[in-house]
Amino acid sequence: MKRVCLLLANGFEAVEASVFTDVIGWNKLEGDGTTELVTVGLHDQLQCTFNFTVIPEMHVSEMDIDSFDALAIPGGFEEAGFYEDAYSEPFLAVIREFERKGKIIASICVGALPVGKSGILEGREATTYNLGEGRRQKQLSEFGVKLVPDQPIVVDGNIITSYNPSTAFDVAFKLLEMLTSKENGDEVKRLMGFR
């Protein structure tokens, strides 16, 4: 079984998290059946950007990173406190450890910013939120990232980044493809009505 850690910061965007739960879940039930997802957070209860509340299945302190094959990070809003968790040392340490072990890391929108802050994107290609006068892309480039500003999804080795919420499903499908196969990913897309 390929296990995905959905790492949630307080203030995450629910829609960006939900694509990972749905695509990985659809694969478990209707695809090749080889994936499962576990929600992980720094708190016993998390509130998303727009007041949706989630109870993660696991606290970050309980994680055995060796039991996971991939890390998924949705973005969130500064006004909802996203960066307080996402830039915290326990959150960044998880990202660094997944990279150290060569595991897949998938982020959506500003989920790329903690990946950049962790230091693992230095000298590598990535993108992040592309609207709002490019402020978030400028922040990402300040972490030593080779910014690819006009590409919706950027894959550099084991790391997937994307430039806004509209890319969410595509990132989740790319993660599934990298965990299983292109054929399986395409079949799950078809079953979900995307093909």
pLDDT tens, residue by residue, 79-111: 999 999 999 999 999 999 999 999 999 999 999
Q: b/e per residue, 157-180, with b = 16+ CB within 10 A?
A: ebbbbbbbbebbbbbbbbbbbbbb
Pairing mode, if any, of strands 159-162 and 153-156? antiparallel
**Per DSSP, which regions of the chain are E strands?**
2-8, 35-41, 46-47, 53-54, 58-59, 70-73, 104-107, 125-126, 146-147, 153-156, 159-162
What pLDDT, on the 0 to 100 scale, is given for residue 171?
98
Place of tokens 């079949």: 187
pLDDT over threshold 90, residue 133: no
What pLDDT, on the 0 to 100 scale, is given for residue 100?
98
The percentage of residues in the chain with a pLDDT greater than 90, rounded to a whole number, is 97
**Residue 3: pLDDT band by 50, 70, 90 thresholds?**
very high
**Residue 41: pLDDT band by 50, 70, 90 thresholds?**
very high
**Residue 51: pLDDT band by 50, 70, 90 thresholds?**
confident
Residues 156-189 have pLDDT tens digits of 999 999 999 999 999 999 999 999 999 999 999 9
The three-state DSSP-derived secondary structure of 78-112 is HHHCHHHHHCCHHHHHHHHHHHHCCCEEEECHHHH
Residues 64-76 have pLDDT tens digits of 999 999 999 999 9
Give the mean model confidence (pLDDT) for residues 148-162: 97
What pLDDT, on the 0 to 100 scale, is given for residue 61?
96
d(CA 25, CA 19): 9
Task: Given CATH 3.40.50.1400, say whether it is the number of domain 2-186.
Answer: no
What residues does each domain of the chain span?
A: 2-186
What pLDDT, on the 0 to 100 scale, is given for residue 195?
80
Side-chain-facing half-sphere of 30: CA atoms under 13 Å: 14
Is 75 strand, coil or helix? coil
